[in-house]
Amino acid sequence: MAKLRSIGVFCGSRMGERETYANAAEAVGRAIARADCRLVYGGGDVGLMGIAASTAAAEGGSVYGIIPGFLIAREGHLDGVDIKIVETMSERKSQLIAESDAYIILPGGTGTLEEVFDVISRQQLGLHDKPIVFLNTEGFWSPFIELIAHTVREGFTPQSLADHVDLIDDAKVAIARIIAQLDAKDATTAGKAD
């Protein structure tokens, strides 16, 4: 039996100012569940992350939340999903990264940015080769992608890193792209094993 693929969802613990952000989180949760993948997230029941996780769970999908114990009073957690309680934010982030086969990044604030910088820095250092897709709802991530391009132009970031980061507007297309990249990676690995 094939391993259940896990897609890490990094996004805000707040709702943001636009209804389209919530709609995008819902679409991501639905798309992950319908792709028969596990949604891995920060464990809370608030903001965009709560919407994505609760939608995946409502669709019958597998959901795995990782949350520091001290945040439960502030962010809650979803009933009926697999939750792991850890001690620190750093431990949560490391486990989110380790438990995921790919990452989809939705709008979020400084916590999301910290996760994003960590996951792309680890990729740049060769610590993983997992797909990273930014869901660019309302152009939210365009300034960030331009910042990355600026660091490439100025010689601080290799072009190869920018080439491995996708910017996509539609949740279903984003999840389909992740699945295609994972399938291609599996085929390459299987070819090397033969």
Kindly state whether residue 1 falls inside one of the protein's structural domains: no
Across 163-188, average pLDDT: 88
Tens of pLDDT, residues 129-160: 899 999 999 999 999 999 999 999 999 988 88
Across 126-130, average pLDDT: 89
Instruction: Tell me: pLDDT of 1 over 50.
Output: no
Across 25-63, b (16+ Cβ under 10 Å) vs e yields bbbbbbbbbeeebbbbbbbbbbbbbbbbbbbbbeeebbb
Q: Which domain holds residue 88?
A: 6-189
Q: What is the pLDDT of residue 133?
A: 95
Kindly state whether residue 169 falls inside one of the protein's structural domains: yes
Q: How many domains does the chain have?
A: 1
Mean pLDDT computed over every residue of the chain: 91
CA distance 145 to 169: 13
DSSP state of 37: -
Kindly state whether residue 159 falls inside one of the protein's structural domains: yes
Q: What is the pLDDT of residue 193?
A: 66
Kindly state whether residue 49 falls inside one of the protein's structural domains: yes
The CATH number assigned to the domain holding 78 equals 3.40.50.450
Q: What is the pLDDT of residue 3?
A: 64
Percent of the chain with pLDDT strictly greater than 90: 74
Tens of pLDDT, residues 54-93: 999 999 999 999 999 999 988 888 888 899 999 999 999 9
Kindly state whether residue 120 falls inside one of the protein's structural domains: yes
Kindly state whether residue 194 falls inside one of the protein's structural domains: no
Instruction: Tell me: pLDDT of 190 over 80.
Output: no
Instruction: Tell me: pLDDT of 48 over 70.
Output: yes
**Cβ neighbour number for residue 156 with a 10 Å cutoff:** 9
Helix (H) / strand (E) element for 98: namely helix 89-99
Instruction: Tell me: pLDDT of 194 over 70.
Output: no
Kindly state whether residue 116 falls inside one of the protein's structural domains: yes
